[in-house]
Amino acid sequence: MLQYIVFIGGAINLAGSATYFRDTLRGDTKPNRVTWLMWTVAPFIATVAAVSAGATFAAVPIFMSGFIPLLILIASFVNRKAYWKLEKFDYICGACSVLALILWGVTKDPLIAIIFALLSDAFAAVPTLIKAWKYPETETAMAYLAGLINALTFFFAIKTWSITEYLFPIYLIMINIFLFVSVMGKRIFKIRKSD
């Protein structure tokens, strides 16, 4: 019964990310489309790999971590301030995703796909982490908090503690914490500094 909590987490993620979606449409948030594309592709690869390895409800938070970026990516095409910025990191992310699919196809080992999808997602996060710290006004912290809550719900759905089931959700928990702190860090520091 507790495994259904992942759907509540998914709904919270969707609701919390609605502010990012809205801010993207308004032009208040300036997403890098390459990052959001990679944040769509990598979790979808990890979801399929986890399900093929036997994960069930525990894959819902992983799926949602790809579905929400897909919505943001689509919204970014309405935002004139959103941009495609291809840098070395973007090529590394793309290479990791392609490598994940190739190695998974060759080895039939879903763990390899999950590891490379995770690496791809992590590389894609670096430019946003830096941008969020330097220019927190260009990001929406609530989306990352909602993503964290979504990722945490996997604990209610996990059936076996196999690495293919928990690796990507643990990563999602960590990256959402880092992203949230990157966006909120200067605000918190300024508040403390003014006291």
The pLDDT tens digits of the residues spanning 125-147 come to: 887 888 888 888 888 888 899 99
Confidence of residue 100 (pLDDT cuts 50, 70, 90): confident
Residue pLDDT, tens place only, 140-182: 888 899 999 989 998 888 777 888 888 888 999 999 999 999 9
Q: Structure tokens of 136?
A: 């927190």
| 107, amino acid identity | T
Cα angle, residue 17 at apex, residues 13 and 18 outer, rounded to 5°: 120
Give the closest residue to 168 by CA, choosing from 114, 108, 97, 95: 114
Cα angle, residue 12 at apex, residues 11 and 14 outer, rounded to 5°: 65
| 150, amino acid identity | N
Give the closest residue to 128 by CA, choosing from 113, 144, 151: 144
How much is the mean pLDDT over the chain? 83
Q: Structure tokens of 80?
A: 């004139």
pLDDT at 56 over 60: yes
Cβ within 8 Å of residue 102, ≥6 positions away: none
Confidence of residue 120 (pLDDT cuts 50, 70, 90): confident
pLDDT at 175: 95
